[in-house]
Amino acid sequence: MVLYFGTPVVLISSRNPDGSTNLAPMSSAWWLGYTAMLGMGTSAQTVKNLAARPEIVLNLVDPDMVAALDRIALLTGSEEMSEAKRGRGYRYEPDKFAAGGLTREATGIGLDGVAESPINLEGRITAIHEIGGPDSHLCALEMQVEQVRVREELLMSNDRYIDPLRWDPLIMKFTEYFAGGAPAYPSSLARGWEMPPMVLSGS
């Protein structure tokens, strides 16, 4: 049984060894206060980058960005990958901004953020926790959020809260994209992982 009930999609900016920005989509994230917890596989280039260079930007994704996100869903910033990953259709791409048609935006920590993202969270990784035992190859990264940038039209009148009626995050459930509770876009990731097709009501 796969347990993957759905969380907001984010694009993670991290720093490669050569100083360039790696951009990676992920969808196991949650927040409490100014701490974010991010679940990822330990072989990911993003995890390797953050273990060595903890600066990070979380670029949150809304439904208007789903096509761009899907264009980079099966791309990796690492030239080395497992045969299983290669078999699912992943390929190496050093410039995922260009591949996705996304615009680089300077941040206060020297990484490129995503200009199309309505919410950008800058900070640093403070701890990396092994989860699921040594054979799981999974980890949870603990991030301290230090700077928040929010598109003005998403803010409520006191500028402290984000309006829940205006903020509609793109959600990934079992490798499928959802917005407003409905399927949002055909998922390359679902095809790569050979997920059974969704049966929509009335079809």
Q: What is the SS3 assignment for the chain?
A: CCCCCCEECEEEEEECCCCCEEEEEECCEEEECCEEEEEEECCCHHHHHHHHCCEEEEEECCHHHHHHHHHCCCEECCCCCCHHHHHCCCEECCCHHHHHCCCEEECCCCCEEECCCCEEEEEEEEEEEEECCCCCCEEEEEEEEEEEEECHHHECCCCCCECCCCCCCCEEECCEEEECCEEEECCHHHHHCCCCCCCCCCC
> What's the whole-number average pLDDT of the chain?
91
> Over the stretch 153-180, which tens digit does the pLDDT of each residue have?
999 987 789 999 999 999 999 889 999 8
pLDDT for the residue numbered 2? 76
pTM metric for this prediction: 0.91
pLDDT for the residue numbered 203? 52
Q: Hey, what CATH topology would domain 7-192 get?
A: Pnp Oxidase; Chain A (2.30.110)
Distance separating alpha carbons of residues 6 and 31, to the nearest angstrom: 14
* pLDDT tier, 4 (very low <50, low <70, confident <90, very high otherwise): confident
